[in-house]
């Protein structure tokens, strides 16, 4: 059986993307805090655009579960 579940969480999507960007920037040696801050918003927006294949309106994600195969996939928009 296949079951689709759509989740709406605008804050969770943005915060997760932003956290990943911040973590990535912190891992780059030689960047000071001002450089990190200047890069954070543009990178968060860029990553959000790349993920828009799976995230509709910046807040909806649909996951399809297959109980026979035990797999789950994020359904493209």
- 40: nearest Cα among 57, 58, 59, 21: 21
Instruction: Check if the beta carbon of residue 58 is closer than 8 Å to that of residue 77.
Output: no
* Segment 45-60 mean pLDDT: 95
Q: For residue 72, what are its two tokens?
A: 């789950």
pLDDT average, residue stretch 34-63 = 95
Q: Say if CB 21 and CB 47 are below 8 A apart.
A: yes
Give the distance, in angstroms, between the CA of residue 3 and the centroid of all CA atoms in the same chain: 22
pLDDT band per the 50, 70, 90 thresholds, residue 44: very high
Percent residues over pLDDT 70 in the chain:
100
Where does 1-77 have alpha helices with state H?
10-26, 33-51
24 is written with which tokens?
């990535």
Residue 41: the pLDDT is 95
Residue 63's domain comprises 2-74
> How many structural domains compose the chain?
1
């Amino acid at each position: 059986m296949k079951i689709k579940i759509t989740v709406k969480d605008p804050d969770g999507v943005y915060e997760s993307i932003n956290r990943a960007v911040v973590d990535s920037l912190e891992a780059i040696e030689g960047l000071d805090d001002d450089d990190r801050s200047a890069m954070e918003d543009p990178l968060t927006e860029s990553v959000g655009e790349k993920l828009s294949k799976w995230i509709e309106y910046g807040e909806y994600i649909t996951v399809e579960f297959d109980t026979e195969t035990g797999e789950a996939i994020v359904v493209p928009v």
